Amino acid sequence: MIDTLAQALPHFRNTNSGQFFLMAGPCVIEGEDMALRIAEQVRQLTDRLQIPYIFKGSYRKANRSRLDSFTGIGDETALKILQKVGREIGVPTVTDIHESSEAALAAEYVDVLQIPAFLCRQTELLVAAAETGKVVNIKKGQFLSGEAMGFAVDKVQQSGNPHVILTDRGNSFGYTDLVVDFLNIPAMQRFGVPVVMDVTHSLQQPNQSSGVTGGKPDMIQTIASAAIAAGADGLFIETHPTPATAKSDGANMLQLDRLEKLLERLTRIREAVR
């Protein structure tokens, strides 16, 4: 699938024609049935709306506040589920990696390797991801400007891999909030790569005293709408059938049955601005 995705990547850029693309799925792979159910439902919806779709799911969560937080069902088990989703549902898949040693392993199972925001400056990690030949999605650090992400792009491209996506997920605003600067979208598009708005993570409320990240899911429509109006090439939305029971990031995820109405609205916005 990687050859098809890599060839399609330039077309994901906003050229005032065509549709935005979507990365969506659960925060973390919790099990095979749930992953397939989400992927199938979103695939049917995006096919109808002609939205290119990449299934998202973390095979392991390394950045957790508390030692007792859920981190995954096992690396190989989760990666095989991601591979099965890609094969059976017929969509590209993306997962995040946290150390350079993980790049080659994850690349055997998924199409896109994602670099978490806190790790976007880690040279060895970026180079290892680049060397797999997979598409590399780099999340902008909460502590960086859009302009500063050019160095991350350079690390991947100068390592011989032209297939880069940049994703904004907001900037730290005090200790327990994030704020989205939509000027980062055109700033990062100047590097000639597709730019995505991570809607749900930008609505997190980190560093809570409970050790569990909070969120403002009621603002998902607002952030997503503004991102499309600002010209984002794609959106990143974590979704779950029942966010209240999700094992990770449930506080800021979109309930799966609300995705259809949101995407219909966003396609109308995209049509209006192009």
For residue 145, the domain's CATH number is 3.20.20.70
Q: What are phi and psi of 169, to 5 degrees?
A: -135, 30
Looking at the domain assignment, is residue 119 inside a domain? yes
Number of separate helices (H) and strands (E) present in the chain: 9, 13
Per-residue pLDDT 10s for the chain (274 aa) are 444 566 566 656 554 447 899 999 999 999 999 999 999 999 999 999 999 999 999 998 776 556 656 666 889 999 999 999 999 999 999 999 999 999 999 999 999 999 999 999 999 999 999 999 999 999 999 999 999 999 999 999 999 999 999 999 999 998 888 899 999 999 999 999 999 999 999 987 765 545 455 667 789 999 999 999 999 999 999 999 898 887 766 677 899 999 999 999 999 999 998 8
Q: How far is CA 173 from CA 86, 109, 121, 157, 181, in A?
A: 37, 36, 20, 31, 11
Q: Copy the structure tokens of residue 42.
A: 């979103």
| Overall domain count for the chain | 1
Looking at the domain assignment, is residue 14 inside a domain? no
Looking at the domain assignment, is residue 113 inside a domain? yes
Structural domain range at position 58:
2-8+19-273
Residue 52: which of 86, 12, 83, 15 has the closest Cα? Answer: 12
> pTM for the whole thing?
0.91
